[in-house]
Structure 1
């Protein structure tokens, strides 16, 4: 029996490759998350970027709490089962009137994971709508792997500027319009993308990637992940430490080492050594 999602929602996810919205946080909780992020950015001297945008839950305690949030993990369990790892997280932030965009792509193409049993939970810290560049999903596209090409476009927010190599009919995309504190769920093979932010405020989203413990890293060195629910009987991933304080020296060191390994996986074959700014 499902813990959070209805049977209809689970069926829709399996049929279309996505489901939204789900209500995760209250307005005050979401405002606190944005305030924490922007206080961290102020202390760090500017917007979070580069390597720091990725797996920030390894050095920020409040994000480590968020990846374990019962409403989020309950929804993931309804689809992927009770033994769950958080494989990675990323901030997708579009500044006001910024040209940054996300090309149509499928996440599975470069992640190197052994199975498509992977879900992204995209949590909105601000509204996501057509004006500020919300995601668009292509229903049913998770059923086939498409060819991709790397562009390294300077305005593309993806690691390699990757895009689907065939033309995608943007008019068939479903706009993922959600409010602060809501989240969307999507399959690792679902084609998705987003346009630039044409509004006067930031568009802030936090993407959390979950996998069942049976999944393994199929390329490169042994990978790491955070156990968020159940038991790990497979030990395919090194278990990541939980930060004891925000930006603690040991947490920052662990983050740097872990992200350095993930860069090698995501950028394999390109010669890149860091996430793009």
Structure 2
């Protein structure tokens, strides 16, 4: 990562846009998602999709991504989670202002979130908005008392009092990605376009970061060494939609949701 990019990330709490794939490559990976959905149903917000599909594993280990993550986290990198975040065309689904690390139970902020666009993500389709520099203030209070069926977030969590005039839109073409810090405030508006907004959300952590809420969560070493072994080892799938892998992923998805819901 050039020094200017690293300094921008440290100052702003995010980088966007970053070129990862060509549009043609992004379309091929989009087709993989949609083919899988035709076989097993919706994949929106399902954890650990790299353990049942080869496409997300290929993307999560792409050198254009890992080279930047290494500059942020260091030489040792664990893949913590992958999940598709999909907003259907012309629907009210939105994401409230929040910080990624709030309910994950990690004991440190050695973490990077990557959002890779597989379809156009612009203001019309509900691209992400970031509050520059908000990561520097650390965790903010989140309200989970009000349920919102249109909120993509698992618990409809929301940070109140965010000055939206400070927000920066982060539009992405297919094949581009944004990188953001776990305490960076971000949100997104509904998809008012005629196309699905499909993105792969990839979560990386440094191996020293521990899950403190519930035992049994897994992670996959994708670069360097794991000297701490805090997590159950996992393997990427070698063939799409393997029945045993589907069962294993369901178990980890349930655990992931329990961790998020545990105070």
TM-score range normalised by the length of the shorter chain = over 0.9
Q: Which among 141, 158, 163 is matched to residue 163 of structure 1?
A: 158
In 1, distance between residues paired with 2:44 and 2:126? 18
Deviations 1:159-205 (A, max 9, x none): 101001x3111121000011110000000000000000011111111
Q: Which residue of 2 aligns with 1:81?
A: 74
Q: Which residue of structure 2 aligns with residue 16 of structure 1?
A: 12
Q: Aligned residues, how many? A: 261
In 2, Cα distance between equivalents of 1:38 and 1:220: 32
Gaps of at least 5 residues in structure 2 are: none
Partner SS, residue 241 of structure 2: coil
TM-aligned CA deviation for residue 47 of structure 1? 3.3
Which segments of structure 1 move beyond 3 Å, counting only runs of 4 or more?
none
Q: Give the match's secondary structure for 2:116.
A: strand
Structure 1 residue ranges without an equivalent (≥5): 270-277
Of the three residues 2, 8, 27, the one matched with 1:6 is 2
Pick aligned residue for 1:70 from 40, 63, 68: 63
Paired residue secondary structure (2:172): coil
Q: How far is 1:48 from its partner?
A: 2.4
TM-score (normalised: structure 2): 0.96
Q: 137-146 or 182-191, which moves further after superposition?
A: 137-146
CA distance in 1 between counterparts of 2:24 and 2:251 reads: 34
Deviation at 1:54, TM superposition (A): 1.9
Structure 1 residue matching 2:205: 3-state secondary structure: strand
Query: What is the SS of the residue equivalent to 2:17?
Result: strand
Alignment of 1:1-277 (within 5 A): 5-44=1-40, 46-49=41-44, 53-144=46-137, 145-150=139-144, 151-164=146-159, 166-269=160-263
CA-atom RMSD in angstroms: 1.2
Q: Residue 71 and residue 35 in structure 1: after superposition, are their counterparts in 2 closer, same or farther (change >3 A)?
A: same
Q: Give 1:84 shift.
A: 0.3
TM-score, structure 1 as length reference: 0.91
